[in-house]
Amino acid sequence: MLIGRLGAAGSILVATRGALNVTFACLVASPAGVALLVLALIASPAGVALLVLALIASPAGVALLVLALIASVVRLLAAAGVALLLLALIAGVVRLLAAAGVALLILALIAGVALLILALIASVARLILALIAGVARLLAAAARAFARPLAAVRDPEGLVARIRRVRREILQPIVAGAERHYIGLVRT
């Protein structure tokens, strides 16, 4: 009843027990049967069935046993190979992701440095343009300021008229206010 509840493992135990019952009679006949039994049990449940056939059928059965052992080893190696392949694939993907992450980090670093350099170049260019514009404004203001004294030399009547206009526009209201409110600044 216990074997029925074990499922696939139980059927393997039943097959192995049946094979052992048959082989115990063969073990008495030859000590090589013990080695074959151990090899068959190590190989797989299918190897146990082949061991029974080998012990019953003689030297041709030994060849079958060897083939069963080889098949079991190949199956184990294939399973290990699949596991190794999966591990290699996982490691490869992880390595690729890590390499991609490093590549993205390097690209981001390069892009950041490039943007910093471009911002620095733009700032320096803006500073140079502002400096040139400031110098141009200063030169224009100096030229206008220099032109005024020259205008007086070239046109003395214009200078006199300008002085009269300044006197009329600025000084007359002051004088008028002082005359109305005699504060002693202007004598009339």
148 vs 157: which has the higher pLDDT: 157
**pLDDT at residue number 102:** 76
Q: What integer best gives the mean pLDDT of the chain?
A: 67
Cα separation, 39 vs 33, whole angstroms: 10
Cα separation, 6 vs 92, whole angstroms: 39
Residue 89 placed within a domain: no
**pLDDT at residue number 150:** 66
17 vs 84: which has the higher pLDDT: 84
Residue 64 placed within a domain: no
pLDDT in tens, 61-119: 556 556 666 766 667 666 777 777 777 777 777 777 777 777 777 888 888 888 888 88
Sign of CA dihedral 97, 98, 101, 102: negative
| Mean pLDDT confidence for 136-141 | 85
Cα separation, 42 vs 64, whole angstroms: 16
Question: What domain range includes position 181?
Answer: 155-188
pTM given for the model = 0.29
**pLDDT at residue number 38:** 58
Residue 176 placed within a domain: yes
Residue 88 placed within a domain: no
Number of structural domains the chain divides into: 1
pLDDT band at 36 (very low <50, low <70, confident <90, very high): low
Most confident of 20-34, 117-131, 160-174: 117-131
Query: Within 13 Å and on the Cβ side, how many CA atoms surround 43?
Result: 24
* Ranges of H-type helices in 58-182: 59-154, 156-166, 172-180
Do 58 and 47 touch, CB atoms closer than 8 A?
Answer: no
**CA angle centred on 43, ends 40 and 45, rounded to 5°:** 75
